[in-house]
Structure 1
Amino acid sequence: MKFPTGLPELDEGLDGGLPTSSITLIYGEEKSGKTSLALKLCALAARRDRAAYIDCSNRLHPLRLAQILRGNRVDRSRLLILPVESFLQQEEIVLRLYDYPPPAPLIVLDDFTFRHRLEIKGDVKQDTPIYERLAFQLAALKEAAMKRDIAIVIIGQVHTLPNTGETRAVAHRILTYWSDYVLRMGRRFGERCGRIWIEKPEKKGVYRFRIVKSGITSC
């Protein structure tokens, strides 16, 4: 099974959409459209089955959620929303996905590294166990995706590398290692259209989108 993104050109680049038995990482800067894409994925999945949205940062705006569901003609009861209050609770949710049948064939975790970032102290010795727990969560999610034949989407923020000025996903190596697909999103302030790049498996081309009431659409 493959889940459409709402962008036909991007779906074509993904050979039909986001597949089950896999993890997809979607990352980008603040306001780049990540949550709009995540909710669009959930809405389209909920049209034919169910979807689960795990709100790791506990910042999902209810009006935006209602707007996207209404724009895609999806009943709220078909989308499970689960807020996360701590890194420990996030780990417990991940382990439930590993141990028990999933609540839906598509599960989105947004913003997956938010609680991890709150735990980081800036000291390598203290932070190593936190990174190990993050890697453990991703390993459990990967196993759950394969064992349960579900599609898991993780949303990530970026940070700027101090020496080069390059932006990369937070915990880039861990997230990209466990992800089967990696999409980077970008949208400059004031620009009507944003861009999506498929970084894993690496493919040429840029997929343009714009944010609308129903989530995202081609631009």
Structure 2
Amino acid sequence: MQVENQNDAKEEVQPEEEDFEEIEKLQTVGINVSDIKKLKSAGIYTIKGIWQSTMKTLCGIKGMSEAKATKVKEAANKIQDFGFCTGAAVFEKRKALKKISTGSKEWDKLLGGGIETLSITEIFGEFRTGKTQLCHTLAVVGQLPPEMGGGNGKVVYIDTEGTFRPERIRDIADRFGVDYHAVLDNITYARAFTHEHQMELLIAVAAKMIEERYSVLIVDSSTALFRVDFSGRGQLAERQQKLAQFLSKLIKIAEEFNVACVITNQVVSDPGGGAMFAVDPKKPIGGHIMAHASTTRLYLRKGRGEQRVCKIYDSPSLPESESIYQLSKGGICDVND
């Protein structure tokens, strides 16, 4: 994948070696083509995708019996083993991790280099804090070569609120000196209308990622449709279960295809928080389900004028800290830019 500079064509980037095994390899260990097509119909396109699916899921595929599902699992094990390994092996695998720039050097510094692949990064905050602007910025930066802080791949953009604007992509592309026509062509966009549609789009993503290199998967926002489709405490348990399934699928895609999954989230006022003299009583939607699924959680809040503040709300490797950034015509940037 290559995005050309408006003035000069960038050097040809060598295609990267993919870390996944395509599901067609099952033919080499006795699985017929018809059964492979059945797996693909359920959104399973890699050997790892088989291991990420339960027996219940496999048996739920039309035409897939328990005996066939067991045979598929055994065949997958012959091709790629996902059992125990050493910590050293995990360390080597983590070297494939990439960090994609947010457009702000200070924000990148806060994150230790940028938004990580192989994980879910949750961005939450009230309106006009820059959540969607970050998504638009990443939709451009994700396509840039690594030396420009990019991920050298296409971008998936699932829009649940109707806030995607191609005009913003043009402005951000101009800032980075790349052809906005090419940038827009490399964004795979879909507008989701229900939480079920949102899940179906996520399942369809795997088919695209097996064919071409993608670096970022954006869902803006991840919780809006769940809040609309499920109302009241009576439906809360079902909503949380469906949300958990969606987030589980998202992290599997992140690990399967080495992409950065970026989701935005809404906030709600917590009356109890104000009573306890909290500085900011707002809290993200999704409860513990969202908290456990997201690898890195970033809280955005308003500052002075167009300035905004990003705080590390939760991370397995980053200390709690803050950085200041700014919203501009060219997307997310530093205050002094």
Q: Same fold (TM over 0.5)?
A: yes
Identify the residue that residue 189 of structure 2 maps to in structure 1. 81
Moved more, 164-173 or 197-206: 197-206
Residue 156 to residue 62, structure 1, CA distance change in 2 (3 Å) = same
Partner of residue 242 from structure 2, selected from 125, 133, 145? 133
Are 1:177 and 2:285 an aligned pair?
A: no
| 8 Å contact from structure 1 (residues 97, 141) kept in 2 | no
The one-letter code matched in structure 2 to 1:149 is: N
The one-letter code matched in structure 1 to 2:292 is: Y
Identify the residue that residue 5 of structure 2 maps to in structure 1. none
CA RMSD of aligned residues (A): 1.9
Moved more, 17-26 or 43-52: 43-52
SS in 2 for 1:80: strand
| 8 Å contact from structure 1 (residues 25, 176) kept in 2 | no
Are 1:208 and 2:324 an aligned pair?
A: yes
Q: TM-score if structure 1 supplies the norm length?
A: 0.90
Are 1:112 and 2:209 an aligned pair?
A: no
Residue 162 of structure 1 deviates from its aligned partner by 2.7
SS in 2 for 1:182: strand
Give the length in aligned residue pairs. Answer: 217
Identify the residue that residue 121 of structure 1 maps to in structure 2. 231
The one-letter code matched in structure 1 to 2:333 is: T
1:24-63, aligned counterparts within 5 Å? Answer: 24-48=121-145, 49-63=153-167
Residue 98 of structure 1 deviates from its aligned partner by 5.3
| 8 Å contact from structure 1 (residues 98, 143) kept in 2 | no
Identify the residue that residue 282 of structure 2 maps to in structure 1. 167
| 8 Å contact from structure 1 (residues 58, 85) kept in 2 | no
SS in 2 for 1:112: coil
Residue 11 to residue 84, structure 1, CA distance change in 2 (3 Å) = same
Name which structure has the greater RCO, CA cutoff 8 Å, separation 6+.
1
- Bigger Rg, which one: 2
| 8 Å contact from structure 2 (residues 307, 325) kept in 1 | yes
Q: Distance in 2 between matches of 1:64 and 1:97?
A: 24
Q: TM-score if structure 2 supplies the norm length?
A: 0.60
Unaligned runs of 5+ in 2: 1-97, 146-152, 275-280
Kindly provide the CA deviation profile for residues 31-76 of structure 1, in whole angstroms up to 9, marking residues without a partner as x.
Answer: 1111111111121112232212111112323433433333333431
SS in 2 for 1:184: strand
